[in-house]
Amino acid sequence: MATHTIACPFCGLVCDDLGLDQDRVDVRGCAKAAAGFARRPAIVEHRIAGRAVPLDEAAAAAAKLLGGARLPLVSGLAADLAGIRGLIALADRLGAVIDRWQSSAQQANLALQQHAGALTATFGEIANRADVVLLLGADPAARQPRFFERLLRNGGALYRTAPPHVAFIGPAAAAPADPAVSERVFVAEDALLDAVGALAAIGEGQKLAATTTLPLPALSALAERLAAARYGTIVWDIAAFPAAARGAALAILLRLMRQLTRRTRCVGLPLGGEDNAQGAATAMLWQAGWPGRLSFAAGVPQHDPWGNDAERLVAAGEIDALLWVAALTAAAAPKSGVPTVAILAADAPEAAAEVEIRVGIPGIDHGGAMLRADAVVALPLTAARPSGLPSVAAAAAAILAHLPAAS
């Protein structure tokens, strides 16, 4: 039986070299993919108050619940691109807030791009070109298990003749074990911002006074390496920085990259993109004009990074209904205390929701598309084990169809 290759939806790399033989997936040694493809449906019926109903009946109840709310929240958003498109349409019609769950780190990256800009590159460019790589804050493999294999230990790189020099800067406990890493410079979490500042300052030719909190000689050497690189690449996990330091750290990193670009090339790569986070941000950009933190309550899209933060809205009790969507993950809806419609993958445990709609996992139960973390490449997802479970897009469309016509 010939094997064909499929893409994996379980992190922002969206590796597309997994093997599929009948319904067996060769996960290329990735534990995260193994766990993802091992997911099996447990609950497949849709429910209203615990009672099994057909999809259409559940959708009608969901429309009634959400349509009657003053300020519903659409969150979770762990769906393929078609699902995201459908959920934004639904939020627009409902006059709802729509925002991913726990997206503060992603929003920090996006906010800097909005207000200052970016110097960046896609995976394929970095994999073929990067000769000096800085990893800031965390082990990329923690989010993207095959990061090193796919981007830095790849054979056949077009433009580099030797393996890249890969240096980690961050807490010892978060240091990557991957053999591609040639240097580990330990800096405590609360000194990460200072380390980034020192790198930039050294790069700009400033002399820094000796300090006990920062390994200045190592940072100086790295600043020199970046300046001498043909294609330096700085990879960061902004979630590894203290929340209050994120904006400043990103601004300094951009300054550093701009400074380096005067003489050579240097690009940045923010880590992330799990659960099609980049697809959600991009679809919100094209449909509404902003990459998240959106409210349609006034009949127009409005972006408020603080006001429309899903976690804050739930914590502050400002919403009166929740539409929770988790298909790529099996994440349960947060405790919100408000009437809830949950669109859930069939392996998610029973939900404390008034209406429960069970959907397939994109890339397992049905096909679809997902955007890689680099925001450029969308990959097709294959139905590895096709099932009759509806998609998020179908569920969203069914709910929309039960809402009264827009006025």
Binding region for another protein (CB under 8 A): 4-5, 7, 16-17, 81-82, 85, 89, 92-93, 110, 113-125, 127-129, 150, 155-159, 230-231, 261, 264-265, 267, 282-283, 285-291, 296, 299-303, 367, 369, 371, 375-380, 405-407
Residue 271 burial (CB count, 10 A): 27
DSSP 347-363: TSPPP--SEEEEEPPBT
Q: Which of 32, 39, 165, 293 binds ligand SF4 (CB under 6 A)?
A: 32
Question: Which partner from the list ligand SF4, another protein, none does 206 bind, CB cut-off 5 to 8 Å by kind?
Answer: none
- Contact flag: residue 30 with ligand SF4 (CB under 6 A): yes
> CB within 8 A of 38, min separation 6: which ones?
none
3-state secondary structure of 278: helix
Dihedrals phi, psi of 225, to nearest 5 degrees: -60, -45
CA distance 334 to 322: 9
> CB within 8 A of 184, min separation 6: which ones?
167, 168, 172, 175
Q: Looking at 11-19, 89-97, 114-122, 319-327, which segment touches ligand SF4 (CB under 6 A)?
A: 11-19
CA distance 224 to 234: 14
Residue 366: DSSP 8-state: B
Question: Which partner from the list ligand SF4, another protein, none does 113 bind, CB cut-off 5 to 8 Å by kind?
Answer: another protein
Interaxial angle between packed helices 277-288 and 104-115, expressed in degrees from 0 to 180 and rounded to the nearest 10 = 50
Q: Which of 46, 129, 146, 165 binds ligand SF4 (CB under 6 A)?
A: 146
Cβ burial, residue 2 (10 Å; 0-12/13-18/19+): exposed
Q: Looking at 26-34, 71-79, 222-230, 346-354, which segment touches ligand SF4 (CB under 6 A)?
A: 26-34
CB of residue 271 to ligand SF4, shortest distance in Å: 12
- Contact flag: residue 39 with ligand SF4 (CB under 6 A): no
Position 175, amino acid: A
Closest to 338 measured CA to CA, from 123, 115, 95, 66: 66
- Contact flag: residue 123 with ligand SF4 (CB under 6 A): no
CA distance 278 to 117: 17
Nearer to another protein, 26 or 57 (CB): 26
- Contact flag: residue 14 with ligand SF4 (CB under 6 A): yes
Question: Which partner from the list another protein, ligand SF4, none does 8 bind, CB cut-off 5 to 8 Å by kind?
Answer: ligand SF4
- Contact flag: residue 368 with ligand SF4 (CB under 6 A): no
- Contact flag: residue 15 with ligand SF4 (CB under 6 A): yes
Residue showing tokens 């094209």 = 286
CB of residue 268 to another protein, shortest distance in Å: 10
Question: Which partner from the list ligand SF4, another protein, none does 99 bind, CB cut-off 5 to 8 Å by kind?
Answer: none
Please count the residues of this chain forming the interface with ligand SF4, following the rule CB under 6 A.
Answer: 12
Question: Which partner from the list another protein, ligand SF4, none does 40 bind, CB cut-off 5 to 8 Å by kind?
Answer: none
- Cβ density class 278-298: b for 16+ within 10 Å, e for less: bbbbbbbeebbebbbbbbbbe
Question: Which partner from the list ligand SF4, another protein, none does 49 bind, CB cut-off 5 to 8 Å by kind?
Answer: none
Question: Which partner from the list ligand SF4, another protein, none does 33 bind, CB cut-off 5 to 8 Å by kind?
Answer: ligand SF4
Nearer to another protein, 170 or 362 (CB): 362
Site string for ligand SF4, 125-144 (x = CB under 6 A): -------------------x
Nearer to ligand SF4, 10 or 101 (CB): 10
Cβ burial, residue 264 (10 Å; 0-12/13-18/19+): middle
First to last CA, the chain: 55
The site for ligand SF4 (CB under 6 A) is made up of 8, 10-11, 13-15, 30, 32-33, 144-146
